[in-house]
Structure 1
Amino acid sequence: MTRESFTASLAPPARRLLQAAAFLALALPLGGCGTGDLWDKFTAKDDTFVEEPADKLYNEGLYLMNEKKDIKAANKKFEEVDRQHPYSDLARKSLLMSAYASYQAGDYDSCIGSASRYVTLHPGSPDAAYAQYLIAASHYDQIPDISRDQTRTEKAIASLEEVVRKYPNSEYAASAKAKIEGARDQLAGKEMSVGRYYAQKRDFTAAINRYKTVVTQYQTTRHVEEALYRLTEAYMAIGIVGEAQTAAAVLGHNFPDSRWYKDAYNLVKSGGLEPSENQGSWISRTFKKMGLGG
């Protein structure tokens, strides 16, 4: 088969590709016939990159962050240390500084990303506890108000508990514990808000379930006093007076000076009753388990 007959036998798409390749081969001059400039364009290297010393980049990043307050520019310098000198000690420090700078700027997602990478790459570093704390603090600082979904709060608690669990003797453990209490108070506040909503709708069973969550899971928060009063109120409303009396009695025993106890006491008295603790009530058992029972 001749070259012409072979080309003609091809399907139209394949024939067009073969013809185009032949045309391109003819269009490109042979070596030594003025191809130098063209070839240089294909093989030219970018000589604009100049490697800089790690300490120079790192110090420039510190200057931009501390003096110029230009977090974005500082982060670029820290990233360059990691890119140009990935196995240096300053690359490790730069990754942590990048997380810190992002946290200071309120760029919490970037902070979490850099700090998480640091913990993964350098779990045995003395600064790993701080990196873990930055992750937790980034979640904590984004906790929304109680009218919104509390998924971020739950993430904050999980991250803060990770700090306490993995680094119990670090200087960040105490701060993490305090933040955990703050986040738990937020979750308790959310439960109380929903409980009050149900009570206003006179759905007292649903309200009691919310208040019960506060009493059983968030006893150390400031909301537990109101939760016990609201239980007294809800149980009185549906006629389960024994539980109402117990809630009022436990409230009085643990928080005798609380304004919520005064209200609970008056509410029970208005029904011709007295606060009286039933030792078999779930309320009494819960507080005894915590060492707070009457």
Structure 2
Amino acid sequence: MKLLKLTGLLSLALLFGCADKEVTVPDVPPSQLYAEAQESLQGGNWTSAIERLEALDSRYPFGAYTEQVQLDLIYAYYKNDDLALGLATIERFSRLNPTHERSDWVLYMRGLTHMAQDRNFMHDLLRVDRSDRDPEPVKAAFADFDRLLKRYPNSAYAEDAQKRMVALKNRLANYDLATADFYVRREAWIAAINRAQEIQKTYPDTEAARQSLVLQKKAFEELGMQEQVERTEKLMELNPL
């Protein structure tokens, strides 16, 4: 109980401490404010950059810096892990500037931001397998990069987007593999077979597809389906781990 009270008091102290430290951006000319934002961006001071860019965006919504401020905010939000704000800014910019010359970069950043939503600091730190996590952000990122390649095949970001799609495809395949493994552990043999075959159909060139054959064989064995077991064994010989 004492520990809970202490934790609560600490949380309140941090909350009020953050409120006291809230910074009000000075009312200076937009050129000065933008120069300060650029200096913060170049120095990697994302919080300071965001404060000044947001001030510019709200005080001068139709100013000379409008479009560049939003582009800079997209980048700063991404670097600062303000991912929801980043996506909202991307949607706003794309809606207002559908034919902008940097639309390929905006779409690329949308993919990166969705990818970042799948990231978890503690999982990275502890090297925890996260293949069973919700893959919706991964699907969104894959769609973003796929759209980039189709709309802007000659973009400077196309090659990197294509490489990231390979990693994303493996991530999605591993999620389905984790699901198939769950079904095997629950002795849901038909569900395991269906999921394993779906992996082989959708992601045939992945490690997960080859691993799914092991689960498929196990499920067929448990169901006493010897002919299917033998077919799976042949597939395993053709696709060794």
TM-score range, shorter chain: 0.7 to 0.9
Query: Who is 2:104 aligned against?
Result: 129
Q: Please, which of 113, 118, 121 is the counterpart of residue 88 of structure 2? A: 113
Taking the aligned partners of 2:52 and 2:185, their CA distance within structure 1 comes to 57
Q: Which has the higher helix share?
A: 2
Q: CA deviation at 1:161?
A: 2.3
**1:142-291 to 2 correspondence within 5 Å?**
142-143=117-118, 145-253=130-238, 255=239, 258=240, 260=241
Q: Please, which of 51, 58, 61 is the counterpart of residue 34 of structure 2? A: 58
1:95 maps to amino acid: Q
The 3 A distance-change label for structure 1 pair 50 and 89 is closer
- Normalized against structure 2, the TM-score is what? 0.76
Aligned length: 206
**1:99-110 to 2 correspondence within 5 Å?**
99-110=74-85
1:90 maps to amino acid: Y
Structure 1: give runs of 5+ residues left out of the alignment: 1-48, 261-294
Moved over 6 A (4+): none
Query: Who is 2:50 aligned against?
Result: 75
What are the Cα deviations for residues 119-173 of structure 1, in whole angstroms up to 9, with x where unaligned?
2222222211111111111111121622332222222222222222322221222
Larger radius of gyration: 1
Taking the aligned partners of 1:106 and 1:209, their CA distance within structure 2 comes to 37
Structure 2: give runs of 5+ residues left out of the alignment: 1-25, 120-129
Q: Which has the higher contact order (CA 8 A, sep 6+)?
A: 2
Conserved 8 A contact 2:132-2:179:
no
Conserved 8 A contact 1:118-1:128:
no
- Normalized against structure 1, the TM-score is what? 0.63
Q: CA deviation at 1:83?
A: 4.1
1:103 maps to amino acid: Y
Taking the aligned partners of 1:76 and 1:201, their CA distance within structure 2 comes to 51
1:230 maps to amino acid: L
What are the Cα deviations for residues 200-257 of structure 1, in whole angstroms up to 9, with x where unaligned?
233211110111111111112221111123222322332222222222223322x3xx
Conserved 8 A contact 1:136-1:159:
yes
Q: How much is the aligned-residue C-alpha RMSD, in angstroms?
A: 2.3
The 3 A distance-change label for structure 1 pair 133 and 85 is same
**Percent identity (aligned):** 20
